[in-house]
Amino acid sequence: VGDSADYDSEVESVCAFCGVGCQISIKVKDNRVKYVEGINGPANEGRLCVKGRFGYDYIHHQHRVTKPLIRRDDAPEKGLNVNPDNWQEFFREASWDEALDLAADGLKGRGREVAGFGSAKCTNEEAYLFQKFIRQGFGHNNVDHCTRLCHASSVFALIENVGSGGVTATFNEIENADVAIVIGANPIENHPVAATYFKQFTKRGGKLIVMDPRGVGLRRFATHMLQFRPGADVAMLNAIMHTIVEEGLYDQQYIDAYTENWEAEKAHLKDFAPEKMEDLCGIPAETLRAVARDFATAKSGMIFWGMGVSQHIHGTDNSRCLISLALMCGHVGRPGTGLHPLRGQNNVQGASDAGLIPMFLPDYQSVTDDGVRSAFTEVWKSEDFSNEKGLTVTEIMDAVHDGDIKAMYILGENPAMSDPDVEHARDALAKLDHLVVQDIFITETANYADVILPASALYEKTGTVSNTNRQVQMVRPAVTPPGEAREDWWIEVELAKRCGLDWRYTHPREVFAEMAINMASLNNITWERLEKTAVTYPSLSPEDPGQAVVFGDGFPRPEGRAKFTPASVIAPDDTPDAEFPMILTTGRQLEHWHTGSMTRRARVLDAVEPEANCSLHPSTLRKLGIEPGGMIRLTTKRGSIVTMARADRAVSPDMVFLPFAYVEAAANILTNAAIDPYGKIPEFKFSAVRVEPVSEQ
Ligand code: SF4
């Protein structure tokens, strides 16, 4: 951090990493970011974590794609790692016209043979344009993005049971809560600024109940730490709810006024006495009962969850349990109460809101509803498109293998690193006869591209993003993109025109205005307002800063009632056996974000965490004869990787924790593609694995 002499301009924008959505001031000199400071945004009040403060310099990295690239006729086979310092062996530079023409030629007129992955790293306007491009341009709904890999099951359960996919309360509301549950989430590493509010909550006496198979950092602040057996979430949560029913701790008045299906839930819970569930979930019955009493008898309680809840084949059931728990205690719709799935990427909330989902148009309006489709096609001045739900991320890869999808447009996503059972995804990408990748680097996915369109980083863009709190915020360009790289919305428009669409947008504000026509969530939120301040949706008037807590007077469901959906215990898909005796779980680290394409090119972050690694309990390492820092081989039914072992007492002796940011030890070579039947989210959090020492050569 320096003083004003160190920079010649400062621009207010939003951090490019996690869903907390911290507002930042970017200090710029000679078109380079000098440093970043936190400012007083609604989600961060000046705070930043290490990624926000020090992770910006990836945008100036030498590996940025600065010109459109076209695969050479004599290039080696698709999928071989492209050396970013020697990409000329694979690609040649092209003009924008040549690259866009080639990109469009391989897509247009191919209808259902085309699918698209948009990006939660882009703005709301860019996400909206992307889903419109696929729907209007190709007549179907085969468009998805990384929400499928993070909170699709949470969103399914929320829409099913409370009628809306967003959080019911901001995380800052914890300051009004008496008790909070954080389950399947590791905010200290993944939502660090949100975690500071959680810690402050405990300092003023709030009861924090942490539930996770890993002893995540928040345990140090917890009243109760429930380190339950992986995959036993439903058993544990049902046992807690059983206690609430058995001891009459539920809020009958609230249940009568605002919910339905309570009797079925109550009857279902009879079989889940804590004494019967304690072995299955690994938590003593008395602890389960104590947690039930603490949560149910508190005046106000909140529930936060992360991908430890959602990334299971029973991810939707996990979320259904959390929703039921909050509803039966009346912990929704008042200050200090609510349901909050902590969103991962900076704009995964906004990209989902904007319709980058195969079953929903913007604002979660169903593609199967004729009236909804016609409202959109009227605005788009185009013909109707398919009323069938489209394919999801993993289904699209299967359809490529089946020969049904032959061309893809991938904007800012990296399925060659992020998909489960990633060799299956990589083989699919290699099979495509046309792949357009729009990105800022030659990612692992771009290794398979026919055309690479050089895009912009967030700090080079104009647009809006929506954070985990439903706060819509403006991002502004601090620097110009390098070389001939362009903003993503501009590239989308140019590609659409070449695919025959009459798109005439000249600025993201025009896209925002179009979005607002059919998105009730944007009522009273205008571009001009957002230029001055963040607004939380829903906003009830042009002056209303927005509703931090929603559903105080009923839910957007029939008769205004939320629903209890009982959940039964389903075993994980890939359970340990003699050959694969341990449990593998994957996740993020504080310093690295998602597939690492950005943070591993950020100097400070890479210096702190430079090497692929995994964590095991010290007793497990001893048993296997492995020293901390030694190399180990992890093998599942899908494949094998070698990485460095770390000792970590937070990991149970029967588990391995593996970050997924490292291409040299790609975690998703190991993970299971089995999906939750509702949210269609893969089971990243549970695979049977074998661990072996690797002898030094
Ligand atoms: Fe950025 Fe998230 Fe860190 Fe805030 S908490 S600075 S949004 S990575």
Judged against a pLDDT cut of 70, whether residue 1 lies above it is answered with no
Integer-rounded Cα radius of gyration of the chain: 24
For all residues of the chain together, what is the average pLDDT? 96
Q: Using CA positions, which residue lies closest to atom 3 of ligand 1?
A: 49
- pTM of the predicted structure, to 2 decimals: 0.96
- The pLDDT value recorded for residue 594 is 87
Ramachandran category for residue 381: left, alpha or beta (phi over 0 → left; psi -120 to 50 → alpha): left
Atom of ligand 1 nearest to the CA of 48: 6
How far does residue 124's CA lie from ligand 1's centre (Å)?
A: 18
Q: What percent of the chain is helix, strand and coil (3-state, nearest 5)?
A: 35, 20, 45
Atom of ligand 1 nearest to the CA of 192: 5
Cross-strand partners of 535: 472
| Nearest CA-CA partner of 676 in 161, 148, 321 | 148
Joined tokens for residue 278: 């304690």
Judged against a pLDDT cut of 80, whether residue 3 lies above it is answered with no
How far does residue 191's CA lie from ligand 1's centre (Å)?
A: 7
Instruction: Give the pLDDT mean for 606-619.
Output: 96
**From CA 462, how far away is CA 455, in angstroms rounded?**
13
Instruction: Give the pLDDT mean for 5-24.
Output: 95
Neighbour tally for 579: CB within 10 Å: 10
- The pLDDT value recorded for residue 84 is 87
Q: How far apart are the first and last CA of the chain?
A: 45
Q: Using CA positions, which residue lies closest to atom 1 of ligand 1?
A: 52
Q: CA 346, 351, 357, 359 torsion: positive or negative? A: positive
CB 134 within 8 A of CB 141: yes
How far does residue 593's CA lie from ligand 1's centre (Å)?
A: 11
* Tens digits of residue pLDDT in 42-79: 999 999 999 999 999 999 999 999 999 999 999 999 98
Burial of residue 227 (CB within 10 Å: 0-12, 13-18, 19+) is middle
* Tens digits of residue pLDDT in 435-481: 999 999 999 999 999 999 999 999 999 999 999 999 999 999 999 99
Atom of ligand 1 nearest to the CA of 53: 6
Q: Write the CB contacts of 5 (distance below 8 Å, at least 6 apart in sequence).
A: none
Instruction: Give the pLDDT mean for 373-395.
Output: 97
Q: What percent of the chain has pLDDT over 90?
A: 96
Cross-strand partners of 36: 26
* Tens digits of residue pLDDT in 644-692: 999 999 999 999 999 999 999 999 999 999 999 999 999 999 999 999 9
Atom of ligand 1 nearest to the CA of 15: 1
- Ligand 1 pocket test: pick from 13, 14, 20, 604 the residue with the most ligand atoms within 8 Å of its Cβ: 20
Q: How many residues does the chain have?
A: 697
CB 320 within 8 A of CB 567: yes
CB 342 within 8 A of CB 330: no
Half-sphere CA count of 457, side-chain side, radius 13 A: 31
How far does residue 616's CA lie from ligand 1's centre (Å)?
A: 27
- The pLDDT value recorded for residue 601 is 95
**From CA 649, how far away is CA 352, in angstroms rounded?**
37
Contact residues of ligand 1, CB 6 A cut-off = 15, 17-18, 20-22, 44, 48-49, 51-52, 191-193
- The pLDDT value recorded for residue 452 is 98
* Tens digits of residue pLDDT in 235-244: 999 999 999 9
**From CA 438, how far away is CA 452, in angstroms rounded?**
6
Q: Residue with structure tokens 């180990």?
A: 632
Ramachandran category for residue 282: left, alpha or beta (phi over 0 → left; psi -120 to 50 → alpha): left
Neighbour tally for 637: CB within 10 Å: 14
- The pLDDT value recorded for residue 60 is 97
How far does residue 50's CA lie from ligand 1's centre (Å)?
A: 8
Q: CA 464, 200, 296, 240 torsion: positive or negative? A: positive
How far does residue 55's CA lie from ligand 1's centre (Å)?
A: 10
- Ligand 1 pocket test: pick from 13, 14, 15, 604 the residue with the most ligand atoms within 8 Å of its Cβ: 15
pLDDT band at 259, cuts 50/70/90? very high
Q: Using CA positions, which residue lies closest to atom 2 of ligand 1?
A: 18
CB 410 within 8 A of CB 437: yes
CB 481 within 8 A of CB 457: yes
Judged against a pLDDT cut of 70, whether residue 696 lies above it is answered with no
Q: CA 426, 499, 135, 147 torsion: positive or negative? A: positive
- The pLDDT value recorded for residue 149 is 86
CA dihedral 604, 608, 611, 612 (to 10 degrees): -100
- The pLDDT value recorded for residue 507 is 98
- The pLDDT value recorded for residue 463 is 98
**From CA 289, how far away is CA 240, in angstroms rounded?**
6
**From CA 597, how far away is CA 414, in angstroms rounded?**
9
Q: What percent of the chain has pLDDT over 70?
A: 99
Atom of ligand 1 nearest to the CA of 194: 5
How far does residue 13's CA lie from ligand 1's centre (Å)?
A: 12
How far does residue 553's CA lie from ligand 1's centre (Å)?
A: 33
pLDDT band at 350, cuts 50/70/90? very high
How far does residue 485's CA lie from ligand 1's centre (Å)?
A: 25
Query: How far from the centroid of its chain's Cα atoms is residue 619's Cα?
Result: 33
How far does residue 466's CA lie from ligand 1's centre (Å)?
A: 13
- The pLDDT value recorded for residue 2 is 57
Instruction: Give the pLDDT mean for 485-507.
Output: 98
- The pLDDT value recorded for residue 381 is 97
- Ligand 1 pocket test: pick from 13, 14, 18 the residue with the most ligand atoms within 8 Å of its Cβ: 18
**From CA 41, how far away is CA 20, in angstroms rounded?**
10
